[in-house]
């Protein structure tokens, strides 16, 4: 894989020079900027090669958004992605959504501050590169 990694980097560098400030050249420079992140799956075995799981989990909500004729307010537009994120996170962590939302709302209504944190197991912690 190291040969492939180096060959791809060389090709991107050459293409960035050849294509200058065109769309292709800019794309090559962006890929070079994030080049180490392209290989995270090799350095960290728990990281999947693709983001298909994320794509699949978003699909029902994207379809719902398209067929729901959007919300009727700016606050609704802000609320939808936040609540969908909480719903999907609770589903993936095996948490009771109703209880989680009840705890968050109770804290917000009584203290004005929400200090609830999701219990994320060690193996599901995000790997930062």
Q: Measured in whole angstroms, how far is the alpha carbon of residue 71 from the centre of its chain?
A: 23
Question: What backbone torsions phi and psi does residue 94 show, to the nearest 5 degrees?
Answer: 75, 30
User: Of the residues 43, 61, 76, which one is the last residue of a structural domain?
Assistant: 43
What is the band of 19 on the pLDDT scale with cuts at 50, 70, 90?
very high
Q: Enter the tokens of residue 122.
A: 């060690």
CA distance 122 to 119: 9
91 found inside a domain:
yes
Residue 60 inside a domain? The answer is: yes
Per DSSP, 51 falls in state -
Whether residue 95 sits in one domain with residue 77: yes
The reply to whether 115 and 95 lie within a common domain is yes
Range of the domain at 119: 52-124
pLDDT category, 129, cuts 50, 70, 90?
A: very low
Residues 38 and 60 in one domain: no
pLDDT at 7 > cutoff 90: yes
Q: What pLDDT shows up at residue 17?
A: 95
Say yes or no: 65 and 21 in one domain. Answer: no
For residue 32, pLDDT over 90 is answered with: yes
Clarify whether residues 63 and 111 are in a common domain.
yes
């Amino acid at each position: 894989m190291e040969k492939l990694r180096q060959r791809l980097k060389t090709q991107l560098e050459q293409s960035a020079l050849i294509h200058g400030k065109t769309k292709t050249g800019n794309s090559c420079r962006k890929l070079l900027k994030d080049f180490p992140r392209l290989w995270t799956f090799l350095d960290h075995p728990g990281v999947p090669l693709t983001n298909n799981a994320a794509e699949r989990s978003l699909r029902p909500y994207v379809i719902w958004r398209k067929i729901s004729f959007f919300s009727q307010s700016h606050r609704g537009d802000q609320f939808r992605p936040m609540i969908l994120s909480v719903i999907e996170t609770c589903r993936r962590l095996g948490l009771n959504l109703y209880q989680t939302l009840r705890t968050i709302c109770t804290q917000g209504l009584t203290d004005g501050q929400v200090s609830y944190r999701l219990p994320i197991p060690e193996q599901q912690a995000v790997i930062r590169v």
